[in-house]
Structure formats: structure tokens, C-alpha cells
């Protein structure tokens, strides 16, 4: 009798486990089942960017590109998934005599940006291969037609409540085009003679970049994150921030951040950056202000912000320049802005001032971002479409460097 009860209890437990796993739409029991339960998604994109420049001998720039991406992720086979993502870009029109878009939008062709294996057991996950990454010191930009990617190998764990810990190694960095080249990531072995294709995967130094990341939100209203990254034999960086949102009607918040840079080359002086941000919400209108200050003086090495054109987590970031000037040695920057969301409309306006110690290098940057995502308009005919407009004005201390930047995007997601 007792034995029968134990067997029946075991059968119930197994049945409950099988039912709970079967609830997941992508749960599979065979390889063929995993592929048949795979999900396809993607986008169709059309981008038009234009730039105007002051100063003698400079030509304005105009470019229209189109393309998109196609993503496929298999169902879960005992915690195992495979994922791929193909991106394509084509140039429809270009008037860019000075090649201002060579490193960002001017690309014809396709690239397999994601090809990864993902395995999850309990609260531990491994993900390795080509993949999109968004961490403070390792992040790919998606502001152009080709989104940046990395070849990385991560293991993450969430056993500690409200905490995620990630450790890994980033081996390669895929840029927007094969003519992309960034001085603050000079250790990446960029292509020197690109021919206008989407960016390939380029080595990050000789031995890649090791990293550890932690995020915790166990205290109500407080979120803390930190990351350490080491580009072997080149530079090591540390980043940390904390944001506390008060439990009040206007949802006021305060935040602080810190970067530290340790250069391996003795000729480059170590440096740091600290920043503060605050804001409130008034009847749906977000008002915010930020400040950053970088150590050192004119001529010293800049602060290491991370790898990838999405690695701009500072409080004085912008659209056109990304606020890259904030990382220059001895630079103080501040930003004020407002953001508002109403149904499918999102808008943001910012004014950012960069006080650079080098002569004629100060910059005032005005940024406007607007995006509208269509929902059930016209009985769903436009569902999945999004249109956005970004406009920037760059007012330099040296007027010959003044410029404007207009970006328009039409995206259909499926």
C-alpha cells in the first residue's frame, strides 16, 4: 500500500513537471520538433540621412539606404536553443562627396550578425557565438541600418534574488561597414581597405576582452549595476552606476555613475569620469538634467568608454556625436532635457554643453528625437510600422565646424 502511494505520488510529480514544461510554446522533445517550433521575425527598413556643414570647402551629405534583417530562433530542446540573424543593406541614393557616411551607412551587402548557441538550466544560462550585446562597456549600436554585433561567450546566473551576474569573453566586433574605424577603440583590428560592404567581425586586440557584470535591484526603488572589462595588454575599465526612484507622485529620481580607466601603456595616464543625473515626471512629461566631469587635463588620455558604438552609458549622451566629447580629459559637460510619451508617440529634446580644455573645442549640441509606432490604426493596416525623425544642431566654439544632422527612418517589424 505504502509503495503504491509512493509510486502514484512520483507519477503525479512527473506529470506536473511534463505539463509545466509543455506550457512553454517553444518546448521540444526532438531536434526536428525544435526546428519546427522555431520563430521567425525581422524588419524591413528605409533610412534617409542628411548632413550640412559650415566652413570653406566642405560638402553637404545625403544618403538613402534600405534593407532589414531576418531572425530565426529554434524552439527549446531540453534548455538548448540555436539562433541566427541575417542583416542586409543596400544604397538607393547617395550624394556624399566627402564620404561622411562611409563608416556608418554606405554599405551594400549582407552579414550574418547572429549565430549563437544558448543553453539554460535552472537559473544559469550560457550563450556563445555571434550575438547582439548591450552592456555598459560592451554594446553595439543599432542607430544605422546594420546593427553592430560581437562574437562573445557569456555565462549568466540569477540564483541570487533580484540579481544577475554575467562573466564572459568578447573575441570579435562587427562594425556597421567595412570602412568603420574608431580611434577610441584603436586596439580593434579594423579593415584598412574596405570596399563598401557591411562590417565584418574584427579581432578585439590579440586576446579579446574579458568582462564581469553585475546588476541588482533587491532594494525597492534602487537599481545598481557594475562592470569590469579588460582588453588584454591594452586597457582595463571599470563602470558603476546607481539610480534611486522615490516612491512619490512625481517619481523623482537621483543617479550617479563612475568610470575608471587603467591603461597598460605607460605613456597613457590613467583617467576617470564621474556623473550625476536627476529628474521628475510632471503629468507625463519627464524632465531631467545630467552632469559629467572627466579627470586629467588637455593632452591626457581620454576615459575608456567600452567597445562598440552603443557603449555610451554616460549622462551627457546625444544622438549625433553620442556625447563622445564627455570622455576627453579635463572635460565638463552638462545636459538638460525633456521627454514625453503619448500612445504611440515618443519624443525627447536635449541641450548638451561640452566644455573642453583644448582651444576652440567647446560644443553646444541640440538634439530632437521623435518616433511614432503605429498600433491598430486603419484596422491594423499599419500595425508593425514605426517612423522616426532625429535632428541635431552642432554649435562649436570654432564656427567653421558647425553642422546639422537629420535622420529619418521607416521600419516595418514582423
pLDDT tens for 367-392 read 999 999 998 766 678 899 999 999 99
Q: Calculate mean pLDDT across residues 241-265.
A: 97
Is the pLDDT score of 339 beyond 70? Answer: yes
Per-residue pLDDT at 375: 83
What are the cell numbers at 40? Answer: 521567425
Q: Say if residue 125 is in the same domain as residue 148.
A: yes
145 assigned to some structural domain = yes
Q: Return phi, psi of residue 380, to 5°.
A: 85, 0
Q: Which residue carries 538550466 as its cell?
A: 121
Is the pLDDT score of 326 beyond 90? Answer: yes
- 48 by DSSP, 3-state: which? strand
Is the pLDDT score of 267 beyond 90? Answer: no
33 assigned to some structural domain = no
| Residues spanned by the domain of 16 | 1-28
In whole angstroms, give the CA distance from residue 184 to residue 164: 29
Q: Are 282 and 250 in contact (CB under 8 A)?
A: yes
Per-residue pLDDT at 378: 66
Cα 381 vs. chain centroid, distance in angstroms? 30
Q: Say if residue 126 is in the same domain as residue 244.
A: yes
Per-residue pLDDT at 123: 96
CB-count burial class (<10 Å; 0-12, 13-18, 19+) for 116: buried
Q: Calculate mean pLDDT across residues 57-65.
A: 97
Q: Say if residue 132 is in the same domain as residue 14.
A: no
Average pLDDT over the chain reads: 93
69-102 pLDDT, tens per residue? 999 999 999 999 999 999 999 999 999 999 999 9
79 assigned to some structural domain = yes
Q: Say if residue 2 is in the same domain as residue 98.
A: no
Q: Say if residue 211 is in the same domain as residue 353.
A: yes
Is the pLDDT score of 9 beyond 50? Answer: no
Is this model's pTM higher than 0.85 or not?
A: yes
315 assigned to some structural domain = yes
Q: Which residue has the higher pLDDT, 18 or 118?
A: 118
Is the pLDDT score of 254 beyond 70? Answer: yes
- Partners of 338 in beta bridges: 287, 349
Cα 113 vs. chain centroid, distance in angstroms? 14
Q: Say if residue 276 is in the same domain as residue 165.
A: yes
Is the pLDDT score of 15 beyond 70? Answer: no
Q: Return phi, psi of residue 30, to 5°.
A: -150, 165
Is the pLDDT score of 3 beyond 70? Answer: no
Q: Are 146 and 198 in contact (CB under 8 A)?
A: yes
Q: Say if residue 371 is in the same domain as residue 312.
A: yes
Per-residue DSSP letters for 52-87? EE-STT---EEEEEEEEEEEEEPPEETTEEEEEEEE
324 assigned to some structural domain = yes
Q: Say if residue 109 is in the same domain as residue 17.
A: no
156-174 pLDDT, tens per residue? 999 999 999 999 999 999 9
Q: Say if residue 291 is in the same domain as residue 347.
A: yes
Per-residue pLDDT at 192: 84
Is the pLDDT score of 210 beyond 80? Answer: yes
Q: Say if residue 88 is in the same domain as residue 5.
A: no
Is the pLDDT score of 325 beyond 70? Answer: yes
Is the pLDDT score of 6 beyond 50? Answer: no
Amino acid at each position: 500500500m505504502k509503495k503504491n502511494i509512493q509510486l502514484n505520488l512520483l507519477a503525479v510529480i512527473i506529470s506536473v513537471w511534463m505539463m509545466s514544461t509543455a506550457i512553454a510554446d517553444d518546448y521540444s522533445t526532438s531536434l526536428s520538433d525544435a526546428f519546427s517550433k522555431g520563430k521567425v521575425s525581422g524588419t524591413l527598413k528605409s533610412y534617409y540621412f542628411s548632413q550640412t556643414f559650415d566652413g570653406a570647402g566642405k560638402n553637404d551629405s545625403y544618403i538613402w539606404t534600405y534593407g532589414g534583417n531576418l531572425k530565426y530562433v529554434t524552439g527549446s530542446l531540453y534548455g538548448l536553443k540555436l539562433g541566427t540573424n541575417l542583416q542586409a543593406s543596400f544604397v538607393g541614393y547617395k550624394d556624399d562627396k566627402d564620404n561622411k557616411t562611409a563608416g556608418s551607412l554606405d554599405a551594400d551587402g549582407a552579414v550574418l550578425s547572429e549565430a549563437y548557441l544558448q543553453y539554460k538550466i535552472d537559473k544559469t544560462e550560457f550563450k556563445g557565438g555571434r550575438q547582439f550585446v548591450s552592456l555598459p562597456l560592451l554594446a553595439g549600436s543599432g542607430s544605422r541600418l546594420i546593427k553592430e554585433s560581437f562574437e562573445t561567450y557569456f555565462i549568466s546566473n540569477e540564483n541570487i534574488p533580484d540579481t544577475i551576474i554575467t562573466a564572459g569573453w568578447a573575441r570579435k566586433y562587427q562594425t556597421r561597414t567595412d570602412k568603420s574605424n574608431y580611434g577610441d577603440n584603436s586596439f580593434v583590428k579594423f579593415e584598412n581597405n574596405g570596399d563598401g560592404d557591411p562590417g565584418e567581425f574584427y579581432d578585439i586586440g590579440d586576446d579579446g576582452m574579458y568582462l564581469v557584470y553585475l546588476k541588482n535591484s533587491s532594494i525597492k526603488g534602487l537599481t545598481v549595476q557594475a562592470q569590469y572589462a579588460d582588453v588584454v595588454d591594452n586597457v582595463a575599465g571599470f563602470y558603476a552606476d546607481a539610480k534611486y526612484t522615490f516612491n512619490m507622485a512625481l517619481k523623482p529620481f537621483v543617479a550617479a555613475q563612475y568610470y575608471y580607466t587603467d591603461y597598460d601603456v605607460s605613456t597613457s595616464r590613467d583617467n576617470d569620469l564621474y556623473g550625476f543625473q536627476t529628474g521628475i515626471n510632471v503629468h507625463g512629461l519627464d524632465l531631467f538634467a545630467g552632469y559629467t566631469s572627466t579627470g586629467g587635463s588637455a593632452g591626457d588620455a581620454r576615459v575608456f568608454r567600452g567597445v562598440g558604438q552603443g557603449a555610451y552609458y554616460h549622462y551627457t549622451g546625444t544622438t549625433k556625436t553620442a556625447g563622445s566629447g564627455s570622455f576627453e580629459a579635463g572635460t565638463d559637460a552638462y545636459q538638460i532635457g525633456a521627454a514625453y510619451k503619448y500612445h504611440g508617440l515618443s519624443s525627447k529634446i536635449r541641450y548638451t554643453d561640452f566644455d573642453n580644455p583644448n582651444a576652440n573645442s567647446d560644443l553646444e549640441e541640440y538634439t530632437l528625437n521623435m518616433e511614432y509606432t503605429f498600433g491598430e490604426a486603419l484596422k491594423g493596416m499599419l500595425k508593425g510600422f514605426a517612423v522616426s525623425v532625429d535632428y541635431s544642431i552642432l554649435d562649436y566654439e570654432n564656427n567653421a565646424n558647425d553642422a546639422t544632422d537629420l535622420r529619418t527612418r521607416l521600419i516595418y517589424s514582423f
